[in-house]
């Protein structure tokens, strides 16, 4: 009888459980099922990370681009343009899938760059272009053409994954080319030293060959050159080289390809027929991947140790173990999910996993702390878990959904940027969903065998005592609002005023920040050198000039150089040098400092104009670019030269009053004929003496529009105003993608508001919860300012993350206070209890997130802006949430109790209309002052009125 009534009572109790409680208790009770799922999922994730997932440098982005290049030996660029380049471009432009066509014609060569419409596969578009030109017989006798889709995420546009340099001081260019062809055959499939996993091995062609259309005889001329250098004891030795490009088979791991290539090269070194040749890997992704994997593991370990320490100090040692195990489980399952989704282990996914450390802490810590707090009450284990899930699961779910929604807009970014970063939102949203499930299932399971066993000891360390004292002090201040009218009004207004002061300070620092979509890196492991040879230079003269440049590189920064390679870029017009440096962790000068040293040495260099800059990593290097478009080359040259003289050294004034300058302004296209969608143009390029390219490009454009308006262009140069074309290049596409993020931001807020309004069954409380967003503003802007970072795409990513992390804190306080109100507590007592009860998990989650992100901020300068945005934004938001938010909540509850919904809406309308009216009549500052005063007076009136009514009862 006793057991039957007990089961009946248990069934009755089970029927009252929430969905979260039933779900969590199922895994709490069914230990074997939980253990099996945990082991299977975690093991699969670890296996994916260590074995199954393919490693590559960047995501394999097949951009909608294709090229057509070839020869036509007539020694006349006008004829090449008229008979080949222009007709081909016109025919291709008529194709339905083609968005834009650019062409270039030299004395004996031509090329077309084709951009297809979005979602067109480059290989398909390239085949259509080739078929069209062949069917229409557009190539004249003697002309040869090669059709290739572009692979923008690979080492070369041809889609190569590795470049091997073949060098010798004893062979001339033709002899070295022959050796490179032989070696490519040996390394290719079926060769004597075949590289395992290589799909294609091909030597680069340094000679341009074809037939003379008049005589039909074979013609050949050198079109490019290359140098390779390695460093030994600080001495850099250069040698002429030719590249052998290696493309991996589909699905082959880049690290495997690198190991196989090294083995094959050693075989060639041991072969007597190749004596006197030197084999060097000129470029690949293997080293960067190994560095990133190592960095991920170091960040993971550092983050987990940080979580262990914070959880140990504020909760308990056993709680810290559960937190660390749960976070490791989340990361492992996330990796397994990425493998199932078809993603590789690359720069973007690795970075996303590191960022996840600071985001998945919330769910884990909130549930662990709630269970730990429950077990200290002396209740039974089953009851502790049920109570903990009831208290925090719903609020934790809402916070997690907010964070997931914060990253959702990134899924809709189009263009090349969208393809590159698509893995970021997928990885983070997946990890957040997994962390929520793990917090409700695995943590109660782990707590059953650790946290809920043995006697609960009261924390007695100084940090814990300080936390307890702070929570009690803050909650007592909130209670004073309900006990003393004057003190309550003074405390509430002071806290709210403090939040406005910090918001104003945040606006001040925001005005001081620079803006750049892709900020320049503070340090990297490479320096890039771009040389533009003097007009009319021959390939021999350019090679001799580059040899002098090589010596300057060796003499100036040789002790920090690991490898130097031209990667086949040398020509009679320009060359691009990649100087690979020793790791930034092993040298004192930063890459920008080394770049400046080189730039100073090249100040008086003759034979070429040289520009040096630090490698921007994944970010594209920024510069100013525009076109002068006209079929009249003489008039175009005159206008382009005038613009060049106008811009060189011009001062550019930013909106915040600071200035920058544009320099190294050059006109390109004189040695060849360039066309954009059939229109001939000259290109003007310039660089800035500052790094906030995204800010300076629009300023430069506005400056030119004023200096060269339509009337002047037509009157002085005889050209139409449309001859000037701006927004050419990647910067324009980057800005369009960035704008799409800004457009998505308000849509995101509306969606988040609707979700919170449904959960809290209130139209005003979600607005109070959103206060966590402006609360983080001071930390974001001040943190960026004092760490010398600019506002960028990466800081926008961090702000999206803050939407969920920071809002989660206000969700927890609001939810707990609402629970207190349902139990009959007064407003002030409900919020005071919520603050006192939730202060520890709120502080723990914020501190663990901050500490987990510190290794990311310190490990790689490229990502520090994102990490610092999260760190300082979270610190600022957490501070104001515990100091000011309780009084906003009380004020809102007073409004809800004294006014119906329509009166509240009327109050908001009056506030907005009044602020706008004052702004129009007096100024923006006065309008903002009106709003601030109106809000403070209203809150003071409502608080005073409520206190007075309570006393009169």
Q: Phi and psi (nearest 5°) for 805?
A: -65, -50
Which pLDDT band holds residue 307 (cuts at 50, 70, 90)? Answer: confident
Which residues 6+ apart lie within 8 Å of 611 measured at CB?
529, 530, 599, 664, 687
CA nearest to 760, candidates 693, 701, 816: 816
28 contacts 448 by C-beta, under 8 angstroms: yes
The CA distance from 770 to 753, in Å, is: 8
Residue 156 gets which letter from DSSP? S
Which residues 6+ apart lie within 8 Å of 464 measured at CB?
313, 314
pTM (whole model) above 0.85: no
Q: Any bridge partners for residue 71, and if so which?
A: 109, 144
388 contacts 367 by C-beta, under 8 angstroms: yes
Share of the chain above pLDDT 90, in %: 40
**3-class SS at 281?**
strand
665 contacts 700 by C-beta, under 8 angstroms: no
In the predicted structure, residue 517 carries a pLDDT above the cut 80: no
Which pLDDT does position 7 carry in this prediction?
41
CA atoms within 13 A on the CB side of 191: 24
Which pLDDT band holds residue 9 (cuts at 50, 70, 90)? Answer: very low
Q: What is the mean pLDDT of residues 438-465?
A: 83
Tokens 């957040």 sit at which residue?
Answer: 432
3-state SS of 667-718 is EECCCCEEEECCEEEEEEEEEECCCCHHHHHHHHHHHHHHHCCHHHHHHHHC
Phi-psi region of 778 (alpha: psi -120 to 50; beta: other; left: phi over 0): alpha
Which pLDDT does position 732 carry in this prediction?
56
Which pLDDT does position 741 carry in this prediction?
64
In the predicted structure, residue 922 carries a pLDDT above the cut 60: no
Q: Which range among 553-562, 810-819, 922-931 has the greatest average pLDDT?
A: 553-562
CA nearest to 704, candidates 732, 682, 727: 727
Which pLDDT does position 5 carry in this prediction?
38
Which pLDDT does position 925 carry in this prediction?
53
The CA distance from 560 to 586, in Å, is: 9
Q: Phi and psi (nearest 5°) for 109?
A: -145, 165
CA nearest to 698, candidates 706, 519, 417: 706
The CA distance from 212 to 222, in Å, is: 16
> Who wins on pLDDT, 729 or 257?
257
97 contacts 128 by C-beta, under 8 angstroms: yes
72 contacts 108 by C-beta, under 8 angstroms: yes
201 contacts 279 by C-beta, under 8 angstroms: no
């Amino acid at each position: 009888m006793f057991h039957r009534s007990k089961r009946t009572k248990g069934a009755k109790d089970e029927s009252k459980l929430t969905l979260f409680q039933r779900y969590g208790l199922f895994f709490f009770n069914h230990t074997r099922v939980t253990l099996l799922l945990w082991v299977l999922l975690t093991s699969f994730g670890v296996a994916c990370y260590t074995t199954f997932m393919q490693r590559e440098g960047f995501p394999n982005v097949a951009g909608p681009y294709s090229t057509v290049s070839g020869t036509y030996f007539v020694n006349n660029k006008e004829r090449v343009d008229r008979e080949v380049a222009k007709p081909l471009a016109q025919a291709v432009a008529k194709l339905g899938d083609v968005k834009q066509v650019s062409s270039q014609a030299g004395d004996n060569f031509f090329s077309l760059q084709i951009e297809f419409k979005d979602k067109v596969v480059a290989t398909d578009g390239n085949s259509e272009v080739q078929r069209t030109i062949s069917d229409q017989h557009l190539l004249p006798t003697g002309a040869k053409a090669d059709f290739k889709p572009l692979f923008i995420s690979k080492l070369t546009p041809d889609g190569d994954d590795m470049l091997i340099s073949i060098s010798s001081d004893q062979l001339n260019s033709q002899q070295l080319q022959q050796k490179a062809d032989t070696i490519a055959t040996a390394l290719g499939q079926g060769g004597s030293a075949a590289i395992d996993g290589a799909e294609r091995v091909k030597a680069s062609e340094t000679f341009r060959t074809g037939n003379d259309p008049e005589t039909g005889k074979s013609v050949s001329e050198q079109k490019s050159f290359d140098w390779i250098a390695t460093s030994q004891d600080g001495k850099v030795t250069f040698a002429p080289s030719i590249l052998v490009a290696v493309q991996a088979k589909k699905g082959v791991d880049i690290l495997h390809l690198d190991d196989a290539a090294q083995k094959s090269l050693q075989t060639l070194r041991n072969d007597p027929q190749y004596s006197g040749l030197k084999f060097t890997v000129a470029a690949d992704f293997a080293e960067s991947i190994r560095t990133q994997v190592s960095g991920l593991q170091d960040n993971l370990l550092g983050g987990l140790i940080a979580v262990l320490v914070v959880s140990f100090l504020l909760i308990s040692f056993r709680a810290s173990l559960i937190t660390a195990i749960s976070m490791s489980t989340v990361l492992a399952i996330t990796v397994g999910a990425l493998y199932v989704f078809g993603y590789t282990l690359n720069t973007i996914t690795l970075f996303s996993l590191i960022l996840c450390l600071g985001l998945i802490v919330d769910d884990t810590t909130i549930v662990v702390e709630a269970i730990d707090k429950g077990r200290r009450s002396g209740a039974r284990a089953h009851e502790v878990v049920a109570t903990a899930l009831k208290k925090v699961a719903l609020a934790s779910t809402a916070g997690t959904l907010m964070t997931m929604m914060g990253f959702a807009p990134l899924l809709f970014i189009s263009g090349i940027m969208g393809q590159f970063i698509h893995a970021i939102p997928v990885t983070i949203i997946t990890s957040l969903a997994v962390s929520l499930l793990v917090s409700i299932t695995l943590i109660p399971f782990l707590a059953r065998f650790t946290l809920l066993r043995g006697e609960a000891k009261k924390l007695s360390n100084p940090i814990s005592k300080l936390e307890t004292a702070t929570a009690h002090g803050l909650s007592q201040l909130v209670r004073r609002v309900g006990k003393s009218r004057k003190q309550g009004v003074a405390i509430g207004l002071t806290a709210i005023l403090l939040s406005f002061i910090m918001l104003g300070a945040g606006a001040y620092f925001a005005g001081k920040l620079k803006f750049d979509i892709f900020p320049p890196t503070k340090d990297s492991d490479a320096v890039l050198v771009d040389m533009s040879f003097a007009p009319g230079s021959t390939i021999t003269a350019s090679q001799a000039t580059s040899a002098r440049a090589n010596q300057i590189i060796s003499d100036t920064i040789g002790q920090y150089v690991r490898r130097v390679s031209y990667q086949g870029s040398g020509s009679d017009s320009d060359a691009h040098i990649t100087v690979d440096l020793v790791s930034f962790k092993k040298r004192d000068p930063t890459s920008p400092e080394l770049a400046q040293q080189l730039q100073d040495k090249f100040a008086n260099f003759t034979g070429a104009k040289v520009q040096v800059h630090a490698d921007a990593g994944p970010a594209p290097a920024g510069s100013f670019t525009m076109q002068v478009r006209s079929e009249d080359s003489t008039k175009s040259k005159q206008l382009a030269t005038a613009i060049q003289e106008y811009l060189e050294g011009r001062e550019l004034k930013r909106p915040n009053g600071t200035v920058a300058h544009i320099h190294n302004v050059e006109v390109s296209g004189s040695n060849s004929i360039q066309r954009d969608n059939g229109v001939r143009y000259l290109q003007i390029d310039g660089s800035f003496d500052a790094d906030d390219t995204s800010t300076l490009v629009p300023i430069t454009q506005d400056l030119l529009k004023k200096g060269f308006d339509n009337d002047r262009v037509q009157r002085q140069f005889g050209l139409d105003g449309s001859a000037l074309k701006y927004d050419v290049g990647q910067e324009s596409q980057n800005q369009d993608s960035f704008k799409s993020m800004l457009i998505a931001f308000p849509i995101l807020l509306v969606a988040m508001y609707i979700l919170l309004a449904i959960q809290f069954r209130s139209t005003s409380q979600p607005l109070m919860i959103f206060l966590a967003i402006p609360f983080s503003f001071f930390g974001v802007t001040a943190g960026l300012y004092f760490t010398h970072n600019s506002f960028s795409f990466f800081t926008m990513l961090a702000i999206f993350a803050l939407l969920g992390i920071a809002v989660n804190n206000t969700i927890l306080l609001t939810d707990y206070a609402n629970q207190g109100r349902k139990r009959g507590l007064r407003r002030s007592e409900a919020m005071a209890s919520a603050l006192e009860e939730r202060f520890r998990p709120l502080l723990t989650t914020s501190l663990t997130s901050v500490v987990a992100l510190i290794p990311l901020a310190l490990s790689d300068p490229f990502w520090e802006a994102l990490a610092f945005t999260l760190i300082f934004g979270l610190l600022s938001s957490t501070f104001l949430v515990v100091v000011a938010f309780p009084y906003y909540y009380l004020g809102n509850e007073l409004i809800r109790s004294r006014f119906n919904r329509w009166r509240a809406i009327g109050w908001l309308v009056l506030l907005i209309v009044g602020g706008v009216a004052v702004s129009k009549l007096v100024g923006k500052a006065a309008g903002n002052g009106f709003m601030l005063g109106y809000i403070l007076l209203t809150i003071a009136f409502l608080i005073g009125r409520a206190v007075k009514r309570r006393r009169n009862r």
